[in-house]
Structure 1
Amino acid sequence: MLGRVLSARSLFGSDRPGFCLVTFALITLMLLIYAGGIQASLSVGPGGYFPRFRDVFLYALSHDDSPSLLISVVLLLLMGPCQERRWGSVAFLFLSILTMATLSFIYTLVLFVGGGEASRICGYSATQLALFTAQCRQATQRRLLRCLPVWFLPWVYLLGGLLLMPGTPALLHLCAICIGHSYHQPFIGTLQELEETRVFDFIPNWLYVPTSTRFRLPTFATSQRYCKSITLNF
């Protein structure tokens, strides 16, 4: 039994230290937006309305009712820390923002090409599904608990989401799975390298999950040790 738990942990977890700042920030924004009564959604496809500036940036963090908000918060609590520790806070942040922007664009394009009707979208479930698909795609293990193929987990997520949130468009979640499969490791590695920019030098290591400690090591450590060794020798 312990081996199965460790197997699941190796698939969905990571040993990187640090505080999951992005996960905490996303949950806080969802709760504040809902408590403040801010309604943001996108009406995409043929006959849809031109989006407002607020809707473009907040549609994925806005929820119509408390059950959908509860599901998004629970899923983010379960999966967010695992994904943030696997990719690092910087890459996780950029993947989340990129998914929110790309998902609405691709879904709109699919509706226009397929001749579908206008569809209203909001909530974080589709964005979380895309990130979960990318996480499963990068898993080195082929099965979870020796019985369930890893590639099948996003589809279980999709079926569960349709049962718990019947009003969510199934085609939107299919687009999310496709987006998640497009996140290859070289692309995620490029996002992780953004951590080297000077913007993140002002953030303490403990406040977020760094991709690697080598990005935040002080440059003067080696020279100080060398000077101390010379002093001791004399």
Structure 2
Amino acid sequence: MISIDDRNFANRLADAAGAAIRPLFRGDWEAEQKEDHSAVTEADREAEAAMRALIEAERPDDGIIGEEYGTHNEGAGRQWVLDPIDGTQSFVAGRPIFGTLIALMQDGWPVLGVIDQPINKERWVGVIGEGTTFNGKLASTRRCRALEGASVATTSPHCFAESEVDAYLRVVAKAYPNNPFPVYGGDCYNYAMLASGHIDIVIESGLKLYDYAALVPVVEGAGGLMSDWQGNPLDADSDGSVLAMGEPARLEEILEAMNA
């Protein structure tokens, strides 16, 4: 069970990350490349360090899975999964559409999630079995009666493996039969926009646990659905292929289009 203390603690983690990120946004620093060629900045490291310090001090029995500093208490049943800046390229470019992702997982399943945009001071909090909130008020996905006419988002088509591009493009073709203008850019912010009813579908692949764990409670608590590309629920063992939709009834149409 998720307690009020868990929710309050997750908000405190987001506050700590935001306090580390805001002074560095559009600041004077250089981005570095990690071994996987993704970017990392001083803000990524300081934000995760701030969150980890709180967890280790106040929740010493819980585990941590972080993008920048790895795993702590690996065997713990409760794991805090941290992505200090999801969308580092947007942060580097001075675009406030990145976010801090915080998830609490119980026995491998995401049960609490936070998407925090610290510059715009926008925060989505989701708890499995409860309604998602956006800055304290209930958030809701919008109904989508058919795949045709739906808005489809992804961070970049360049992120798909060659074998995955056609599946994505088939959904785009069904959604935009006349003017194919899907939404590009956004990283976790796309899922927040879906939870607030501004986007209908997000399709991505190659995600790590810290990229998607926090998204599940936020999207599903707002009335949406998340799965992998086979329609399976997302957990710690998922393959990194991700579908999110505001209208759960569209799942079969999306899968049919992807596998046509």
Larger radius of gyration: 1
TM-score (norm 1): 0.29
Higher strand content, 1 or 2 = 2
TM-score (norm 2): 0.27
Q: Using CA pairs below 8 Å that are at least 6 residues apart, which structure has the higher relative contact order?
A: 1
Higher helix content, 1 or 2 = 1
